Amino acid sequence: MSRADELLAAAAAAPGFMPADEGRALHDAALAVEVPGPLLEIGSWMGKSALYLAAAAVRTGRTVVTVDHHRGSEEHQPGWEYHQPELVDPATGLLDTLPSFRRTVHPAEDVVVAVVARSEVLAQVWTTPLALLFLDGSHTEESARRDQEAWVGKLSVGGTLAIHDVFPDPADGGQAPFGVHQRVLASGEFTELPGTGSLRLLRRLR
């Protein structure tokens, strides 16, 4: 088994919310992108999607950059549906997924650079054109729009934009990522590629 295949197997077994077919589609999109530059994801949780990207990175000689404050999104906080009490740091009383993330991505530490920050803070100092941008951060309308405005312009022409949890029907899920998808398409700067499940892929044209 190649190292990339080992990372794919680790990704499939890792905790997280990304279905296996969507994870493989993200990996394949990262593998297929032709322009130079790193792969950057916004929203890492415990590192599952980072491993799918890392498997592509070891095959193509790229670097994966993950951006997450590791305090969880709204739905992960106490009293919400996806809260996991075992992830609360007793010293601070706050959710902290960074230790779990580090355990997950340990096999890929040579290709994954973890930035612990709010995405809009890092965006202010980020200048490297991206080959792939994966948007999977907080899904409130405000935060999804903020990630879009801060990062989509940093994607190279010919690069791939991946957006997770895009649900056209509100009965299936929140609408903030769908709104990002619709605004990006309406800009005329992107063309849509075949997606998988709730994962949408777009290629930047100009």
HSE-CB of 89 using CA atoms within 13 angstroms:
12
**Cβ atoms 50, 64 nearer than 8 A:** yes
Catalytic residue among 27, 69, 70, 139: 139
Convert 7-17 to b/e letters by CB count within 10 Å (16 or more is b).
bbebbeebebe
**Cβ atoms 86, 141 nearer than 8 A:** no
- H or E stretch including 144? helix 141-151
Q: In what order do the strands lie in the sheet with 130-135?
A: 112-116, 64-68, 39-42, 130-135, 155-163, 199-204, 190-196
Rounded (10°) CA dihedral 88, 142, 26, 185 = 180
Taken in order 94, 100, 127, 200, the sign of the CA dihedral is: negative
Q: Which two tokens stand for residue 33?
A: 């992108």
Whether 139 is catalytic is yes
Q: First CA to last CA across the chain, in angstroms?
A: 39
Catalytic sites, residue numbers:
139
